[in-house]
A = this chain, B = another copy of it.
Amino acid sequence: MRLGTLKSGGRDGTLVVIHQDGGAYASAANIAPTLQAALDDWARAEPALRTLAAKLDSGEGKLALDPKALHSPLPRAYEWVDGSAFLNHVILVRKARGAEPPETLRTDPLVYQGGSSVLLGPTEDIVRHDPAWGLDFESVVCVILGDTPIGVRAADAGKYVKLVCLANDITLRNLVPTELAKQFGFFNSKPATAFSPFALTPDELGDAWQNGRLNLPLRTTYNGTLVGQPVAGPEMHFSFFELIAHITKTRAFSAGTILGSGTVSNADRSRGISCLAERRMIEIIDGGKAVTPFMSVGDTVEIEMLDSQNRNLFGTIRQRVVAP
């Protein structure tokens, strides 16, 4: 089942089910007005939504979908937690700012608490307020949790994953070093995050969803050129299930919590990049200095994932950088 949220209908939009071909939808407002409402009452809403989705896929009640009409599946969320589970990314970006990876890199997951009261829709412009801030994209895989208690073991975590989606975890790279030096984590350096048009139940991913990892390439296209297609599965050092065990160590989470993998990154350089910071670091390693600038007004970035039949699973995050 694929779900989406139309912008129309209020702050939290209107819940819709999406046709398998990604080009049509049916309103689910009779089942739950919003995705948050559905997640709040998932045991009741899920079967009804699946029935509606099956009807839609059989051709019943199809309405043509304008991708621009979609907001983030959750236009605002009660919690947005992003990991940094691809160690190649951690090692590269820390090198880029002259920092060592933490000693516990392989044993203790990195996660940060992101802002979640204002999230960007999948085709919403990215406003570049100050070029000196160093605007960068980050292509990320996410899960959306149901109500999740404290103390979940990784082996039991699968049942809390209700949906899977993608994100562009926009980062103001030049604000990171001073902010991390203050030790309170990212704040100004992480403006609003954008999410993919569709959120899918894990069963939609078939064999590609394995033990809390999504084993497909995540494609990033920057200014019309495919710049990255790292595989999101094997090199995710901590699986989503392990990240859930980590975040629930001391507290519980409400339905609608979004949990990200961090920037998807492979050690094999031929897989390309999921953020400009990685390319800049590779340039420093190879040639002594970074030559790729951060994002400029007019730049575009697209993030999507195709399955083995080249089906666009989550729709495409397609954003343009604009002046204020």
Given pairs A113-B114, A172-B250, 6 additional interface contacts (CB within 8 A)? A77-B78, A79-B116, A112-B185, A117-B257, A118-B252, A188-B249
User: Are B247 and A110 neighbours in the complex by a CB distance under 8 Å?
Assistant: no
Using CB atoms, name the residue of chain B closest to A79.
B117
Whether A241 sits at the interface, judged by CB under 8 Å, is no
Whether A159 sits at the interface, judged by CB under 8 Å, is no
Q: How far is the CA of A180 from the CA of B181 in the complex (A)?
A: 10
Q: How far is the CA of A75 from the CA of B241 in the complex (A)?
A: 27
| Residue among A40, A110, A115 with the highest chain B CB neighbour number at 10 A | A115
CB A310 to nearest CB in B, in angstroms, measures 35
Copies in the complex: 2
| Residue among A79, A129, A181, A247 with the highest chain B CB neighbour number at 10 A | A79
Q: How far is the CA of A257 from the CA of B249 in the complex (A)?
A: 25
Question: 19 A-B pairs, CB-CB below 8 angstroms?
Answer: A78-B117, A79-B117, A108-B178, A108-B182, A110-B182, A113-B113, A113-B186, A113-B187, A116-B116, A117-B256, A117-B257, A129-B150, A180-B183, A183-B183, A183-B185, A187-B247, A189-B250, A190-B250, A191-B250
Q: How far is the CA of A189 from the CA of B114 in the complex (A)?
A: 16
| Interface majority SS (helix, strand, loop, mixed), chain A | loop
User: Are A183 and B102 neighbours in the complex by a CB distance under 8 Å?
Assistant: yes
User: Are A151 and B180 neighbours in the complex by a CB distance under 8 Å?
Assistant: no
User: Are A251 and B115 neighbours in the complex by a CB distance under 8 Å?
Assistant: yes
Q: Measuring CB to CB, which residues of chain A are less than 8 angstroms from any residue of chain B?
A: 11, 40, 76-79, 81, 84, 99, 102, 104, 108, 110-118, 129, 133, 150-151, 172, 175, 178, 180-192, 246-247, 249-254, 256-257
User: Are A252 and B192 neighbours in the complex by a CB distance under 8 Å?
Assistant: yes
CB A322 to nearest CB in B, in angstroms, measures 14
Q: How far is the CA of A79 from the CA of B249 in the complex (A)?
A: 21
Whether A133 contacts B250 in the complex (CB less than 8 A), given A112-B187, A117-B256, A184-B112, comes out as: yes
